[in-house]
Amino acid sequence: MCGQASCCFQCIQRFVCQTQIRNENWNRYYNFNNQKLRICVSDYGVTDILASEHEEPLSVATEALKSLIHTCVDGSLIKQGVDQILASGSVRKSAPTIIEKLCATVESLLDYRFAAVWDMSFQVVAAMFDKLGEFSSCFLKGTLKSLEGIQKLPDDDFLYRKQLHDCMGVAVVALGPETFLKLLPLNVEAKDLSDVNVWLFPILKQNIVGARLSFFNESLLDNIKVLKLKSTRNLDGLVYSLWSLLPSFCNYPADTAESFNDLEKELCRSLIEESDFRGVICSSLQTLVQQNKRITGAENEPSGKVSISQQRAVSLYTPEVAARNLDVLRSSAREILCTLSRVFMKSTKDDGGSLRRTIGEFASIADKSVVSKLYKSTMEKLLKVTHEASKIQNTKGSSSMEIDNLPNETSPSLTRAKLYDLAAALLPGFGTKEVDHLFDAVELALKDNESLIQKKAYKVLSTILEAVGLLKPPEYLPFLYRVKFL
Question: What pLDDT score does 11 carry?
Answer: 42
334 and 213 part of one domain: yes
Give the count of beta carbons closer than 10 Å to the beta carbon of residue 290: 16
Number of domains into which the chain is organized: 2
Is residue 142 situated within a structural domain? no
Q: Is the pLDDT of residue 486 over 60?
A: no
Name which of 180, 192, 291 is nearest 245 in CA terms. 180
* DSSP designation for 233: G
392 and 344 part of one domain: no
391 and 262 part of one domain: no
289 and 314 part of one domain: yes
Q: State the average pLDDT over residues 336-357.
A: 88
Is residue 285 situated within a structural domain? yes
All residues at 6 or more sequence positions from 322 whose CB lies less than 8 Å from its CB, including other chains: 291, 292, 293, 294, 295, 296
Is residue 316 situated within a structural domain? yes
**Domain stop point among 339, 366, 393:** 366
How far apart, in whole angstroms, are the C-alpha atoms of residue 169 and residue 173? Answer: 6
211 and 342 part of one domain: yes
Q: State the average pLDDT over residues 397-423.
A: 69
Query: Between 407 and 383, where is the model more confident?
Result: 383
**Domain stop point among 327, 347, 366:** 366
pLDDT tens profile 43-80: 445 566 666 655 666 777 788 888 888 888 889 999 99
8 A C-beta contact, residue 455 and residue 426: no
**Domain stop point among 366, 394, 422:** 366
pLDDT band at 274 (very low <50, low <70, confident <90, very high): very high
405 and 459 part of one domain: yes
334 and 225 part of one domain: yes
**Largest Cα–Cα distance in the chain?**
101
How far apart, in whole angstroms, are the C-alpha atoms of residue 306 and residue 364? Answer: 25
Is residue 203 situated within a structural domain? yes
Domain that holds residue 392: 374-483
281 and 389 part of one domain: no
295 and 394 part of one domain: no
How far apart, in whole angstroms, are the C-alpha atoms of residue 33 and residue 29? Answer: 9
Is residue 421 situated within a structural domain? yes
Q: Is the pLDDT of residue 231 over 70?
A: no
Is residue 343 situated within a structural domain? yes
Is residue 358 situated within a structural domain? yes
Q: Is the pLDDT of residue 139 over 60?
A: yes
pLDDT tens profile 79-108: 999 999 888 876 766 788 989 999 998 999
How far apart, in whole angstroms, are the C-alpha atoms of residue 293 and residue 268? Answer: 22
Q: What angle do CA 342, 348, 351 make, to 5 degrees?
A: 85
Give percent of the chain above pLDDT 90. Answer: 52
8 A C-beta contact, residue 250 and residue 213: yes
How far apart, in whole angstroms, are the C-alpha atoms of residue 358 and residue 364? Answer: 10
Q: Is the pLDDT of residue 367 over 60?
A: yes
How far apart, in whole angstroms, are the C-alpha atoms of residue 211 and residue 218? Answer: 13
Q: State the average pLDDT over residues 325-338.
A: 97
279 and 420 part of one domain: no
All residues at 6 or more sequence positions from 120 whose CB lies less than 8 Å from its CB, including other chains: 50, 58, 59, 61, 62
253 and 331 part of one domain: yes
Is residue 112 situated within a structural domain? no
216 and 361 part of one domain: yes
CA distances from 293 to 252, 260, 299, 346, 354 (A): 12, 16, 6, 30, 19
8 A C-beta contact, residue 453 and residue 416: yes
Q: What secondary structure does DSSP assign to 375-440, as a single string? A: HHHHHHHHHHHHHHHHHHHHHHT--HHHHHTS-GGG-HHHHHHHHHHHHHHTGGG--HHHHHHHHH
